[in-house]
Chain A
Amino acid sequence: MIVVLLIAHALLAVALLGAITHQTIGVWTPAKQPADSFVARMRSVSPSTYAGAIVVLYIATATLGAIIYPSYRLNVRIVLEQMQLAKANGSFELKEHFVALGLGMLPAYWYFWRQPPADYARTRAVLTALLAFIVWWGFIVGHVLNNIRGFEA
């Protein structure tokens, strides 16, 4: 059951990663000309259309992560400590705190993305970039730790 939840957690994280990356690129480097390349199409997305989905995906991914966290605490963290993998352990500690801080930012993120485009542009852009950093950090750390420990039969 934990393996199923872990895979679902990872799949939700992939969707969240894609959405927030598109939004961040769209809000920081918007395309000024018609999109005619892969990169230009990424830059020309409408960032505001992602906000609702990102809030839902963030909460769903964090909730699934919280559900499988006890298994990590019992089966993975202890092994990391025994293997003296302090950097891996510390990276996960940062991940849990960053994700928690991201949850606290979601109401503001949601509110500012619902405002007219001309208002709060800088606040929206920075909130989005900060959430993108948290999501990327969480994704990479989770992926690396899973590679270290692997699945149990």
Chain B
Amino acid sequence: MTSRRFFAVFSIAFAAAYAVLYVIAIEYNLALFTYHPASGEFHWLVVPAADQPAMYWYGWMATSALGALAFAALAASLPAAWTARIWPGWSWAVPLAVMVVFGYILRGYFIR
């Protein structure tokens, strides 16, 4: 497998998997770590704070990036015959669909 084919499959799979994992991470609050901005403390996994806001955004991105990295590396390592016809449009179609999903999830901010 050439490095060009490897990175083509990797980048398409990463973009699609990252978008899906990101929305799952948010819906089920699967943050790899939590940041408490008032005290400046980091904690592994989801750690709510009683007396200050807790920030999960960094942790959601880390969860999604790690998961997508593993998925994309696996996809790129598959035999070329299995990935030869992968549609490059998955790299934008899945993130676009997830953007629409976020519009739906957050609709309460705009229609109340």
Contacts and interface: CB of A to CB of B under 8 A. Distances in A.
B15 A90 contact: no
Interface in A123-151: 123, 126-127, 130
Q: A-B pairs with the 4 shortest C-beta distances?
A: A90-B109, A104-B18, A70-B37, A108-B91
B92 to A, nearest CB: 5
B47 interface: no
B37 A93 contact: no
A98 B109 contact: no
Contact of B11 (A74, A86, A91, A107): A107
Contacts of A71: 37
Category for how many chain B residues contact A: 35 or more
Contacts of B15: 104-105, 107-108
B110 A73 contact: no
Interface in B66-109: 68, 88-89, 91-92, 95-96, 98-99, 102-103, 106, 108-109
B77 to A, nearest CB: 16
Contact of B110 (A90, A101, A112, A127): A90
Contacts of A108: 11-12, 14-15, 88, 91-92
Among A71, A93, A100, residue most surrounded by chain B Cβ atoms (within 10 Å): A100
